[in-house]
A and B are shown apart, each in its own frame.
Chain A
Amino acid sequence: MLQVIGVSKKFGQKTALNSIDLNVSHGEFVSILGPSGCGKTTLLRILAGLEKPDSGKLILDEKDITQVSAHHRDVHTVFQRYALFPHMNIFDNVAFGLRCSRVAEPEVKRRVDEMLELANLSGQGKRTVTSLSGGEQQRVALIRALVNMPKLLLLDEPLGALDLKLRLQLQQELVAIQRRVKTTFVFVTHDQQEALNMSDRVAVMNKAKIVQLGTPLEIYEFPKCLFVANFVGNINRMDGKLRQDDAGRWVCDVESLGTYFVEPTEENKVAGQPGALCVRSEKLSLFSRKPSTVDNVAEGSIRALTYLGTHTQFDLTLKNGTGIQVFQQNTQKTAKKVFQAGDKVFVGWHTAQSHYFTGNQLQ
């Protein structure tokens, strides 16, 4: 439905987008996730028509819209600060787009009222937008865009200004509305939790490029590079060298710590290559004695532990000096601590739970 083909953009010397390719299908909820300055907002502004790409193409429903200006595109945006028009009431704000395209006034009224209902704002059209709460402003901004029935709706960190609780509630509301109207959503955020919660697919961006595109599960469990693994969730890294052992299995030698089994991808199977063995914090287990039930074990000591309600966070120093974090679910209601700071412990994991990155995956 939407195809972004080789879109690049530079601002002066700085590359904001480096040959971006992205396909979004009809009715899909796609998030663009990345740290600030990664180019995600530029991509969104190019989709909206507020910036022109230096090269590349945008195709919306088989039509090339690269040169079509913002006000002629069937693409609307919910802006970060909502950008509600302060001199108009709610109704006039929502009706703005329809009136711009000269829809007859009875039709405007019908459609705006319908949308106000969708946003739980029925009968409140006469209120001034300055009197609205953050959540209400966000909903008005959403329906102001949706009322025009865009083919594509862009959302630029629309929940960023809200507090955590309201944000979680609005995340669900937003998804519910999206399912109802079946409009294609492209959602820009720097919050990984938000992206994983809401999206059908997530595009992770870094340094002007999309580094991985996939479902939330793929992004989290099968990150293609260290950046994605790090940006989405918490991951521990142990540097070592890859080799094949006598049985032909691939192992990673971590200096003054141990040798661990890894499952490198085909192109990563280069013996002698330095790489990083990575395991997510919640996938590590702690043992007071050296276990025999797990594939890999590393030795270390507890530097600090923090009780966090659902889980406890252990900060460990491994034998070779590497610092790692381990999360353990607090499944039992117990005051008794099994582990204390300073304890010597063993960390274990199964080979399938680990990742192995090498070469430019480490960037």
Chain B
Amino acid sequence: MIQGLRYRRFSGVAWFWALSLVIAPLLYVVIISFMSRGAYGGVVWTMTLDNYLRIAEPDNLAILGASLTRSVGLAFVTTLMCVAVGFPLALFLVFRSGRFRQALFFLLIIPFWTNFLIRTYAWMVLLSDNGWINHLLEKIGFGPQALNWLFTPQAVLIGMFYNYLPYMAMSLYVSVEKLDPKLLDAAADLGAGPLKRFFKVIVPLCGPGLAAGSIMVFIPAMGEFVIPDILGGGTSLFIGNLLAQQFLVVRHWPYGAALSVVLMVLVGVCIALFEKYGNGSKEDLLA
């Protein structure tokens, strides 16, 4: 690097952005979680621990616990499903698809480029009681309206899986692509069977991709509230719905802020875990 070159102006812009648009709003949420609610829903500047104490109340704790469990569970299952399908898919694309590789990869990212509300809506159409899937099932002989999945957890899971699969598949594809096929040949030459090759060579080498993909799926999935809202019919509460409710409907911001602090802490722990066991951050993968 040239010593004459200084990047003070860039650093100034960067820090202005980071402080005013990234840090300050988050910090402000933390601050108002310690404030009281005003008579008309605003924030009153008196310090209090009430919001956190309120979380600890048995009723609220039960709601929060249930929604957190649901969110984390949903995120976890979604991530697992994405890995289970995305990993073989990435392997196939890189090693087996031959001259169709680019075309298939291209096809993989197309759904990703359409609006996710529309994608989710399409599943609403597909899964509805008179939807295509039920028609198909009826034709095969399952009787009318065999599947009543719309507005059930299954529908939510399908929607989540559908929306998040491309993220996982792409980040796995990128890291499988970097894999030297000679290593697999070498492993096979040394007597490793397909399963051994997968678990002893491919998985460890794709660790960063796996971790990055999991972060990209797990964390947004944890805060997701639109898909459960549309496909789940708003029947069960997820942490995202709980937050949206507090901020937009109940308008108890300090309490909502306290709840989001809980979510932030949870996300922080997850990121730390992923980074620790994935030995690579998302940034490195994208780079």
Contact = CB atoms under 8 A, between A and B. Distances in A.
Interface of A: 50-52, 69-71
B285 to A, nearest CB: 26
A324 B88 CA distance: 60
Contacts of A52: 3
Contacts of B2: 50, 70
A351 B2 CA distance: 53
Contacts, number: 8
B171 to A, nearest CB: 29
Nearest to A69: B4
Interface of B: 2-4
A93 to B, nearest CB: 19
Main secondary structure of the interface of B (DSSP, over half): loop
B4 A51 contact: no
Contacts of A50: 2-3
- The secondary-structure label for the interface of chain A is loop
8 contacts: A50-B2, A50-B3, A51-B3, A52-B3, A69-B4, A70-B2, A70-B4, A71-B4
Nearest to A50: B2
Contacts of A51: 3
B1 to A, nearest CB: 9
Nearest to B1: A50
A58 to B, nearest CB: 15
A50 B2 CA distance: 6
A51 B4 CA distance: 9
Nearest to A51: B3
A70 B1 CA distance: 12
Nearest to A52: B3
A228 to B, nearest CB: 33
B2 to A, nearest CB: 6
Nearest to A49: B4
A71 B2 CA distance: 11
B206 to A, nearest CB: 31
A59 B150 CA distance: 82
B5 to A, nearest CB: 10
A154 to B, nearest CB: 15
Contacts of B3: 50-52
A238 B3 CA distance: 48
A51 B1 CA distance: 9
A219 to B, nearest CB: 33
A69 B3 CA distance: 9
Given A69-B4, A70-B4, A71-B4, 5 more contacts: A50-B2, A50-B3, A51-B3, A52-B3, A70-B2
A52 B3 CA distance: 9
A110 B112 CA distance: 54
B232 to A, nearest CB: 52
Nearest to B4: A69
Contacts of A71: 4
A226 B270 CA distance: 60
A18 B31 CA distance: 56
Task: List 8 tightest A-B contacts by C-beta distance, closest first.
Answer: A69-B4, A50-B2, A70-B4, A52-B3, A70-B2, A51-B3, A71-B4, A50-B3
A108 to B, nearest CB: 24
A69 B2 CA distance: 10
A51 B3 CA distance: 7
Contacts of B4: 69-71
Contacts of A70: 2, 4
A234 B99 CA distance: 54
A347 B8 CA distance: 68
A181 to B, nearest CB: 27
A4 B32 CA distance: 64
B75 to A, nearest CB: 44
B115 to A, nearest CB: 36
A50 B3 CA distance: 7
Nearest to A71: B4
A52 B4 CA distance: 10
B196 to A, nearest CB: 41
Contacts of A69: 4
A71 B3 CA distance: 12
B184 to A, nearest CB: 32
A52 B2 CA distance: 11
B35 to A, nearest CB: 48
A192 B4 CA distance: 34
B48 to A, nearest CB: 51
A69 B4 CA distance: 7
A71 B4 CA distance: 9
A231 to B, nearest CB: 31
A6 B22 CA distance: 50
A357 B44 CA distance: 86
A22 to B, nearest CB: 22
B233 to A, nearest CB: 55
